[in-house]
Structure 1
Amino acid sequence: MTRVLTFGTFDLFHIGHVNMLLRAAELGDHVTVGVSSDALNFSKKGRYPVYREEHRMAIVASLACVHEVFVEESLELKGDYIREHRADVLVMGDDWAGKFDHYRELCDVVYLPRTAEVSTTDIIQSIRDDL
């Protein structure tokens, strides 16, 4: 069995999230997803997600292509998460290209292209602009 591990915030769940998770599922038999904690998202982006972490986790866990979900507490723990979840493949968006290559000693690292013209940040900005 090939185990795939990926990460994300998955706030305001959209087609880009779906596309990434479906493509990740094509790379293995078991998909585990680390959903960024509210605190981690704040430290990365300077804002809290619109949806609380338990809600984002429930959304991701409800997908047929996802087998396991956990809270990602820190970017620096990726190696520990790879070992803990026995990942054969780490999947990240191509906006992170090259940044996780040092984990190739633990597993394959694949960077998938993001879905063009859709991002949570842009959706949030569009909503703000309409207020």
Structure 2
Amino acid sequence: MKTVITYGTFDLFHVGHVNLLKRARELGDRLVVAVSTDEFNLQEKNKTTIVPYEHRVKVLESCRYVDLVIPESSWSQKERDILEYQIDTFVMGDDWEGKFDELKTLCNVVYLPRTKNISSTAIKQAVAVITQLSKELT
């Protein structure tokens, strides 16, 4: 059995997330998803999420491509996770290309292309623009 792992915040779950999870799962028999905790996002990534961690976990657990959801609480846990969950393939979006190549000594590392024109950041920016325009019109 081949096990794949990916990491992310998965805020404002969208089709780009679905595409990444589907393609990651196609690389193995089991998909583990490490979801960044709210604290990790704030302290280490300098990001505030819209959807709380517990809700993001429930959404991912309901996705048919995902077999197990675990918390991501530090940058350094990846090596431990690979060993603990017997990971064969580590997957990230291609915007991280080369950033995790040191893990190639432990497993296969794959960078998948992102879905064009969609991201949680783009959605947040669009909502901010719409909110601003709405305020200006009232």
- TM-score normalised by structure 1 residue count: 0.96
Q: Which runs of 5+ in 1 are unaligned?
A: none
- Report the secondary structure of 2:76's partner residue: helix
Q: Which runs of 5+ in 2 are unaligned?
A: 132-138
Letter in 2 for 1:50: I
Shift of 1:41: 1.3
Shift of 1:39: 1.3
Deviates more, 1:39-48 or 1:56-65: 39-48
* 1:74-89 correspondence runs (5 A): 74-89=74-89
Equivalent residue number for residue 34 of structure 2? 34
The root-mean-square deviation of aligned C-alpha atoms, in Å, is: 0.9
Q: Deviations over 1:87-114 (max 9, x none)?
A: 0000011011011111111100000000
Shift of 1:44: 4.4
**After TM superposition, what 4+ stretches of structure 1 lie above 4 angstroms from structure 2?**
none
Over the matched positions of the two proteins, sequence identity in percent amounts to 47
How many residue pairs were aligned? 131
- Report the secondary structure of 1:75's partner residue: coil
**Residue 12, structure 1, aligned to residue 27, structure 2:** no
- TM-score normalised by structure 2 residue count: 0.92
